[in-house]
């Protein structure tokens, strides 16, 4: 059967290094390499073709600014995406709608459906519930109409794709039939598939000045949905231990907050470093002895911390701070590759770090289990296979099952 065209819609794409841009670039180029005709509608720049993918640009900026410029850019992209999609989509096309900007589904789903497209909602985060979780009852009623429009878009889609089971349940609770929801986890960057060479890891630790220390790292976005109170509390308990260091590698909305808190508490054992280039990620992630993954409890069903996949690929144990009964905690227990802590358990986190530092032999099996979990669940090749099965038109007859059921987290 000839593969249909695929049209992805997302504000950011190559050469942007934003998280969803990198994921979309991996998927789009991977599908193109497998013979699919792939189009991407994204903001900014000049239309182009890159690695087999045709890129359609809406103009404007694909970068975040202040609230006003962000609002203007979001609106411009939505209008441009509507225009381009209306001129591009044909009957039978697979239209994959992501979630940057928030609620993008409400702007383009109807256009694709009315032109005979098969719409797939690739849900990276769930708005407006994220705003409600941040701001509380103050915005619940004003945002209700947006939630209703979003629900209609979800229910109009051929399939909604979530990153995990907790997100799947959130979508199901909004009236999307279970048969129309698939779980395909985000994968680790493809550069991480081949483990870093020991000499590269040693060089990275030396460059950071931590060659003789036990390194606990947080790598990636320091976002509003992430939990840092327990981490800072643990660092404060351990600040008299010069052999243990906490590295925050990245940037984000809460970067300055974490920096100021560490300074105010005199935490010389906390260091903030710029993001590692993607090509350097294998050594940068493997240079840590253990990695932090965090999530505020109120966001367990609204986002999935995709940095987890990279940590598992690097073969390092995970220290998860977040909902103790949530999906990440369940995965760590099932895969035996880390430990989970409630946001109030800074002292317990510090005690675990101390125990791991004192007995390095406990880390090796945790690291091996982490890598095994990556290879079973979070590889690009596994996700490509599941996306291909999902996007290909289903012939008449018995229902076609997606392959590799254990690719779900």
Pairing of strands 37-42, 214-219: unpaired
Full residue range of the structural domain in which residue 241 is found: 191-377
Distance CA 212, CA 326 (A): 35
273 and 159 in a common domain: no
101 and 118 in a common domain: yes
DSSP calls for 224-240: TT---HHHHHHHHHTTT
Those residues with Cβ within 8 angstroms of residue 242's Cβ, 6 or more apart along the chain or in another chain: 213, 269
163 and 44 in a common domain: yes
Average pLDDT over residues 165-193: 96
> What was the pLDDT predicted at 249?
97
* Residue 163, both tokens: 């990153």
Please write the tens of the pLDDT for every residue from 340-387: 999 999 999 999 999 999 999 999 999 999 999 999 999 999 999 999
Greatest CA span in the chain, whole angstroms?
67
Is pLDDT larger for residue 128 or for residue 142?
A: 128
Task: Tell me which residue of 408, 356, 352, 349 sits closest to 383, measured CA to CA.
Answer: 408
> What was the pLDDT predicted at 149?
97
205 and 174 in a common domain: no
Average pLDDT over residues 29-40: 97
Three-state SS at 333: helix
Please state the pTM of the whole predicted model.
0.91
132 and 213 in a common domain: no
> What was the pLDDT predicted at 134?
86
364 and 330 in a common domain: yes
Residues in the chain: 409
161 and 272 in a common domain: no
Residue 46 has pLDDT above 70, yes or no: yes
Residue 406 has pLDDT above 80, yes or no: no
> What was the pLDDT predicted at 3?
59
Those residues with Cβ within 8 angstroms of residue 269's Cβ, 6 or more apart along the chain or in another chain: 235, 238, 239, 241, 242, 244, 245, 246
Distance CA 218, CA 250 (A): 8
43 and 19 in a common domain: yes
295 and 340 in a common domain: yes
* Residue 233, both tokens: 């509390």
Q: What is the chain's mean pLDDT, rounded? A: 93
Average pLDDT over residues 187-214: 96
Alpha helices (H) in 98-162, listed in sequence order: 105-114, 129-135, 140-156
Distance CA 189, CA 174 (A): 31
Q: How many distinct structural domains can be found in the chain?
A: 2
Pairing of strands 53-57, 48-50: antiparallel
Most confidently predicted of 1-10, 58-67, 248-257: 248-257
Average pLDDT over residues 118-135: 94
201 and 105 in a common domain: no
Specify the CATH number for the domain of residue 56.
Answer: 3.40.50.2000
> What was the pLDDT predicted at 139?
74
166 and 234 in a common domain: no
Average pLDDT over residues 65-75: 81
290 and 263 in a common domain: yes
């Amino acid at each position: 059967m000839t593969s249909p065209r695929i049209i992805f819609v997302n504000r950011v794409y190559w050469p942007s290094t934003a998280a969803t841009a990198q994921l979309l670039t991996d998927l789009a180029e991977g599908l193109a390499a497998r013979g699919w005709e792939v189009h991407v509608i994204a903001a900014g720049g000049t239309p182009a073709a890159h690695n087999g993918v045709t890129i359609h640009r809406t103009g404007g900026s694909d970068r975040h600014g202040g609230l006003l410029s962000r609002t203007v850019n979001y609106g411009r992209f939505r209008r441009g995406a509507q225009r381009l999609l209306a001129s591009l989509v044909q009957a039978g096309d697979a239209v994959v709608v992501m979630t940057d900007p928030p609620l993008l589904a409400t702007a383009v789903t109807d256009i694709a459906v009315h032109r005979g497209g098969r719409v797939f909602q690739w849900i990276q985060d769930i708005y407006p519930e994220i705003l409600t979780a941040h701001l509380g009852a103050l915005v619940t009623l004003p945002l209700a109409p947006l939630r209703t429009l979003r629900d209609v878009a979800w229910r109009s889609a051929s399939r909604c794709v979530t990153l995990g089971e907790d997100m799947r349940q959130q979508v199901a609770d909004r009236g999307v039939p279970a048969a129309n929801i698939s779980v395909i986890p985000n994968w680790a960057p493809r550069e991480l598939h081949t483990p870093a060479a020991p000499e590269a890891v040693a060089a990275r630790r030396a460059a950071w000045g931590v060659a003789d220390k036990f390194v606990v790292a947080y790598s990636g976005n320091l976002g509003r949905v992430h939990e840092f109170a327990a981490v800072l509390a643990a660092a404060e308990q351990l600040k008299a231990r010069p052999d243990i260091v906490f590295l925050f590698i990245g940037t984000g909305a809460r970067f300055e907050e974490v920096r100021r808190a560490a300074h105010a508490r005199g935490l010389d054992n906390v260091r903030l470093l710029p993001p590692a280039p993607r090509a350097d990620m294998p050594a940068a992630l493997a240079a840590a002895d253990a990695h932090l993954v965090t999530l505020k409890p109120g966001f367990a069903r609204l986002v999935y911390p995709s940095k987890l996949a990279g940590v598992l690929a690097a073969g390092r144990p995970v220290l998860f701070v977040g909902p103790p009964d949530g999906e990440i905690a369940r995965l760590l227990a099932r895969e035996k590759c880390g430990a989970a802590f409630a946001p109030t358990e800074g002292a317990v986190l510090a005690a675990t770090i101390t125990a791991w530092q004192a007995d390095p032999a406990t880390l090796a099996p945790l690291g091996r289990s982490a890598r095994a979990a990556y290879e079973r669940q979070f590889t690009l090749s596994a996700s490509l296979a599941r996306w291909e099965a999902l996007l290909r038109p289903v012939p008449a007859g018995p229902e076609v099952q997606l392959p590799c059921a254990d690719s779900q987290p």
